[in-house]
Amino acid sequence: MIAETFASPQDVEQAFYKAFERADLTAMMAVWAEEDDIVCVHPGGARHSGMVEVRESWRQIFAQGPGLQFHLVGNRVFSGRMLSIHSVYEHVTVAGETRPANPVLATNIYLLTDRGWRMLMHHASPLAAPAASKESPPSVLH
Amino acid sequence: MIAETFASPQDVEQAFYKAFERADLTAMMAVWAEEDDIVCVHPGGARHSGMVEVRESWRQIFAQGPGLQFHLVGNRVFSGRMLSIHSVYEHVTVAGETRPANPVLATNIYLLTDRGWRMLMHHASPLAAPAASKESPPSVLH
């Protein structure tokens, strides 16, 4: 597979979540910059850095197969010339579950490399209290 | 108080944790860039963005007074011309408690403004499993 060249941070972000949904390890690793400095933090987890650790973390997650669907909400973007910083709420639907999972808050950082834009950092963290609680009356259909 | 000019991202980081330890709201807000784009995420919490929300989040935290001490471990830095991205483990000691709290993983992003370097983003997340568990035998003195 020839690595795709992403023309914008948005293209990388789209490819990242598509690879995540498909549990496609090759496609996932193709979005990352080939840098020792890449950093990946899964919700509640420790830091993975460098290609070997980051790849292994995704391999373990994808071993369960596909089954997640992502809907990004509240995107905030700060764009520099070489770096683009995105803050997004990931609303995740898990296959076979009717209730949405608690949202996850992610900081995604993209770097302009000589092979186009790539992901430099993904830092995802769980929300302790469901942000949607006010919008979800507790006793409808349950 | 005349706002300090920080000559490097490291200077901002030092001032940030000093203000945090002292629960000094004025000093804390002086480290942030005066941008609508600033983002602050406390461990397990939702996103605060813009000066008003970020300030209010620190006001609530600092209402409990000082009492935390930070020791940064495993710093990883990615520096661009205008942006500097730091990933650090915050080892926190709480006054009056003998056990260290679980480490917190933080992504700190600094921006070169026309008033020197300032903080653009602080994203802190809890570690679900204590990273130090293997190093801390469970039954010493307890």
- Cβ–Cβ under 8 Å, residues B87 and B121: no
CA distances from B107 to A113, B85, B141 (A): 21, 7, 34
- The pTM for the full model equals 0.88
Closest Cα in chain B to A108: B107
Query: Kind of pairing, strands B116-126 and B39-41?
Result: parallel
- Using a CB-CB cut-off of 8 Å, the residues of chain B touching A39 are 76, 87, 107
Q: Which residue has the higher pLDDT, A101 or A112?
A: A112
Q: Which of A44, A83, A87 sits opposite B83 (nearest CB)?
A: A83
Selected for mutation to probe chain A from B72, B79, B117, B123 (highest A CB count within 10 Å) is B123
Amino acid residing at B106: A
Give me the pLDDT at residue B140, please: 32
- Using a CB-CB cut-off of 8 Å, the residues of chain A touching B76 are 37, 39, 47, 49
- Cβ–Cβ under 8 Å, residues B40 and B121: yes
pLDDT digits (tens, 9 = 90+) for A29-81: 999 999 899 999 999 999 999 999 999 999 999 999 999 999 999 999 999 99
Query: Of the candidates B68, B139, B65, which has an alpha carbon nearest to the alpha carbon of residue B103?
Result: B68
pLDDT digits (tens, 9 = 90+) for B105-122: 999 999 999 999 999 999
Q: How many CA atoms lie within 13 A of A82 on its CB side?
A: 12
Q: How would DSSP label each residue in A29-65?
A: HHTB-S-TT-EEE-TT--EEEHHHHHHHHHHHHHTT-
CA atoms of B54 and B31, how far apart (whole Å): 12
Q: Do A125 and B127 touch (CB under 8 A)?
A: no
What's the gap in Å between the CA of B36 and the closest CA on chain A? 10
Q: Do B76 and A105 touch (CB under 8 A)?
A: no
pLDDT digits (tens, 9 = 90+) for B54-66: 999 999 999 999 9
Dihedrals phi, psi of B56, to nearest 5 degrees? -65, -35
- Using a CB-CB cut-off of 8 Å, the residues of chain A touching B80 are 80, 82-83
What's the gap in Å between the CA of B82 and the closest CA on chain A? 8
Q: Which residues contact A97 (CB under 8 A, 6 or more apart)?
A: none
Give me the pLDDT at residue A133, please: 39
Q: Do B83 and A87 touch (CB under 8 A)?
A: no
- ipTM of the complex as predicted: 0.87
Closest Cα in chain B to A87: B39
